[in-house]
Amino acid sequence: MYRCDLDQKAESTLLAEVEALFAEAKGTLLFKDPWSKRGLAYKIEGVSEAKFVIYYYELPPASVRELDHQLRLLKGVLRHLTVIPPKGYEAVSHEAIYQDWMKNRVTIADARAHKKEEKLKKTVVDQAKRVSKRMDTKTKEAPKKALSSEDLDTQLDKLISDSDLKM
């Protein structure tokens, strides 16, 4: 793990120094997995984000302790960890898996918005069904009796009469 605020030249120099330490320890590089910038759980030397590189080396056991000591002294390395993987372990690029996940993930906000939109669609469909049902029941009711022309004239005269107008 190293600082992410290093310029490109300083970063490549640091990684070359780390690889030179492994070469001095007579290590054989099996796989290298450089990661992008990641946030840290807590600040280390005032840094809250760092870049990671995972090296898979085959080393003689006698050189591990010396390599560990030299990595601690190397300026620019924030933390390091030496691990012996279990038998049958296959090295995979975790960065590629992470980048694929970042592209295809659904954020919590996206999921909530989608759920809200689905609920709104359901509400609109239910309301449309109720309105349609109401309209169907109204049209099924017996039609009102048509007014005769005399009754129609009487009602119109009543509406238009001068007595109701206040002039």
pLDDT (tens digit per residue) in 79-106: 999 888 888 888 788 888 888 888 777 7
**Residue 163 pLDDT > 70:** no
Question: In this predicted model, what pLDDT tens digit does every residue of 113-143 receive, in sequence order?
Answer: 889 999 999 999 888 888 888 877 766 665 5
Sequential DSSP letters for 107-163: -HHHHHHHHHHHHHHHHHHHHHHHHHHHHHHHHHSPPPPPPPHHHHHHHHHHHH-GG
pTM: 0.55
As for how many domains the chain has, the answer is: 2
Which CATH number belongs to the domain containing residue 21 in this structure?
Answer: 3.30.70.60
Q: What are 31's two structure tokens? A: 């796989």
The separation between CA 10 and the C-alpha centre of its own chain, rounded to angstroms, equals: 32
Whole-number pLDDT of residue 149: 83
Q: How many CB atoms lie under 10 A from the CB of residue 79?
A: 13
- Does residue 104 sit in the same domain as residue 58? no
Q: Rounded to whole angstroms, how far apart are CA atoms 110 and 2?
A: 33
If one compares 79 and 109, the residue with the highest pLDDT of the two is: 79
- Does residue 109 sit in the same domain as residue 87? no
Task: Please check whether residue 160 lies inside any domain of the structure.
Answer: no
